[in-house]
Structure 1
Amino acid sequence: MRTGQSSFVSWSWLILHALLVLLVTEGNSDRKITIENRDEEHLLLPTHDHDHLSLSSNRNQMDPSLNVFFNPVDLRLGKTMPIYFSKRDPSVSPKLLPKQEADSIPFSTSNLPYLLEFFSFPPDSPQAKAIEYTLTQCDLEPIKGESKFCATSLESMVEFATALFGSGTQLKVLTTSPLSNSATLLQNYIVLETPNEILAPRMIACHTMPYPYAVFYCHSQESQNKLYQVLLGGENGERIHAAAVCHMDTSQWDRSHVSFQVLGSEPGTSPVCHFFPSDNLVWVPLPA
């Protein structure tokens, strides 16, 4: 087993422990919850959802955050490609609530007026639009062959994974882990080692959503996906253990999904691969 692979696997539950330390609120959080401090133009765009971003006719002018998509042939030793990795500041990021507290707060578009009053956000504010967006996405029916759930606590996330993989299944959580500090969001990275495929019959990807407290949009598709751990080296010297997935069947995807514009493909014609940002989690079952 390579050093990068060993570190990636053995740190799985350490990551969960760190999340508890960094994300769980301390003391009474009632009405003291704030939405993550992002630029307003990106406030409504969770890191996993690029459906509504438009691609300029000049590829050099496309949104930098779209530099996460790639083709399977790009995942090879020595390949260089521009990649955007968002930086997470735990001091200003939304906090994970304990399950009991999270369950006591309504979470549905039907409760939007109450929630805006609860969080003290004006109806026409960017924060209100972000809340409405997240609730709408979480209320949508899953696509064919997909299981989805919006987790408002770590406990509910684990319960969803256990229900999907089976009671008693041992779980492993993967994420993208920077090995050095860098303020650079977009730069050229080179694949430093042969990518390691994480073999699992199924995976659950959990993406952060814009909300006053931490909410993860978790989903799993029955179609084939390939999960990888990739050691990357940035042109500025930064090193990253990155989690990446290749969706092998995109036939059920919306034709307007921006990944098809970025990669020049169409639903069902070729796989779509992408890297995960560091605040996203990927759950897989450990072999029995």
Structure 2
Amino acid sequence: MGFLLPLIFAILSLVAVALANHAAQPAPQLYWNSILPNTQMPRSISELLRPDSTNEEKSTNIMNAVGNGKPTDHKGKPENIPLALAIYRDYGHPTDIQLDYKNAAIFFLEKDMRPGATTNYQFPRNSNTATFLPRESAQSIPFSSNKLSEIFNHFSVKPTSAEAKTIKQTIEACEAPGIKGEEKYCATSLESMVDFSTSKLRTRNVQAISTEVLEKGATMPMHKYTIIPGLKKLAGDRVVVCHKQNYPFAVFYCHAIKPTAAYVLSLKGDDGVKVKAVAICHLDTSEWNPKHLAFQILKVKPGTIPICHFLPTDHIVWAPNHKSA
């Protein structure tokens, strides 16, 4: 029996360490592990996790994030409009944004994704640093245009401030009707994002992928990139794409539009920096507003040809985890 005691103590120690590590994980990560045990969490999500703290502590910290993501005056100069905003906003609604990004391939055609092709682009990160709240905490805070006063009060935001304008704009975008064939949802927690994405894909056997700059800490101004071999098309013609919004805590605008194709490309910049880039191709644009920026840039009409764009580094594409035909 004596020789068994050290073994028993060793096993108990390992169990204690495992339980301690489990307890230290944020609630959203525990939910991910339970629902998606075989799905690798992309960096764009893992960076938004942190151990749970009290609502009061979070309210103090997350206001700093909103301050970094102040709303843009869309009537200002073109260079003041974020590139990411120009990419995916207003698929079906009128927009007065008239931009001249002649030096950047914001939108491109599906046929242009081939090894050796070059493109000018930058992969910026949203300055909004807000992180996820556990679902219960997020659900305890109103998220409705009818509750703006209560929301401003919760986060100690003055109704006339830039932060209040950001909050109002994000909620209104979430409440606006989608275009024909679009299923949209604003996820106010990682748990709700997982639930929405897996329900629309009708499977939990999924992959979640984001654009990643492979050199840690690299700054990403405009660069000329060359597509190198390794183009991969994700499975199916239906994906869910989630775009990070400016808000006091992490909120993602998620939508499923069919038919849509998603690709993962390997890019190499003229400075040597490598990027694993995610590209989304909208195969049917017939319901888009004719004044959408994509048609201005590519000189094509709605519904005539697939239109593609890269995803910024803090956006996520969800797709079935099986090989395409």
Q: TM-score, normalised by structure 1?
A: 0.83
CA RMSD of aligned residues (A): 2.6
Q: Are residues 145 and 213 of structure 1, via their aligned partners in 2, closer, same or farther at CA, if it must alter by over 3 Å? A: same
Aligned counterparts, 1:144-223, within 5 A: 144-166=180-202, 169-180=204-215, 181-222=217-258
Letter in 1 for 2:294: S
Name the counterpart of 1:7.
Answer: none
Q: Are residues 28 and 44 of structure 1, via their aligned partners in 2, closer, same or farther at CA, if it must alter by over 3 Å? A: farther
Name the counterpart of 2:98.
Answer: 55
Letter in 1 for 2:283: M
Q: Are residues 108 and 249 of structure 1, via their aligned partners in 2, closer, same or farther at CA, if it must alter by over 3 Å? A: same
Give the 3-state SS of the residue equivalent to 2:296 in structure 1.
helix
Q: Are residues 129 and 28 of structure 1, via their aligned partners in 2, closer, same or farther at CA, if it must alter by over 3 Å? A: same
**Aligned match for 1:269, one of 304, 308, 311:** 304
1:84 positional shift: 2.3
1:160 positional shift: 0.7
1:202 positional shift: 1.5
Moved over 2 A (4+): 12-26, 38-56
1:265 positional shift: 1.9
1:242 is aligned to 2:277:
yes
Give the 3-state SS of the residue equivalent to 2:179 in structure 1.
coil
Q: Following the alignment from structure 1 to structure 2, what is the Cα–Cα distance between the partners of residues 197 and 125?
A: 44
Q: Following the alignment from structure 2 to structure 1, what is the Cα–Cα distance between the partners of residues 122 and 96?
A: 15
**Aligned match for 1:124, one of 141, 156, 160:** 160
Name the counterpart of 2:125.
Answer: 87
Q: Which structure features the higher share of helix residues? A: 2
Q: Following the alignment from structure 1 to structure 2, what is the Cα–Cα distance between the partners of residues 282 and 122?
A: 35
Q: Following the alignment from structure 2 to structure 1, what is the Cα–Cα distance between the partners of residues 48 and 224?
A: 29
What runs of 5+ residues in structure 1 fail to find an aligned partner?
Answer: 1-11
Contact 2:67/2:163, CA 8 A, preserved across alignment: no
Name the counterpart of 1:4.
Answer: none
Name the counterpart of 1:37.
Answer: 68
Task: Tell which structure's C-alpha radius of gyration is larger.
Answer: 2
1:225 is aligned to 2:256:
no
1:16 positional shift: 4.5
1:112 positional shift: 1.2
Q: Following the alignment from structure 1 to structure 2, what is the Cα–Cα distance between the partners of residues 67 and 126?
A: 31
Q: Following the alignment from structure 2 to structure 1, what is the Cα–Cα distance between the partners of residues 274 and 112?
A: 18
1:17 positional shift: 7.6
Give the 3-state SS of the residue equivalent to 2:41 in structure 1.
helix
Q: For CA contacts below 8 A with separation 6 or more, give which structure has more relative contact order.
A: 1
Number of matched residues?
A: 268
Identity of aligned residues (%): 33
Contact 1:98/1:153, CA 8 A, preserved across alignment: yes
1:28 is aligned to 2:54:
yes
Q: Are residues 17 and 84 of structure 1, via their aligned partners in 2, closer, same or farther at CA, if it must alter by over 3 Å? A: closer
Name the counterpart of 1:3.
Answer: none
Q: TM-score, normalised by structure 2?
A: 0.74
1:201 positional shift: 3.9
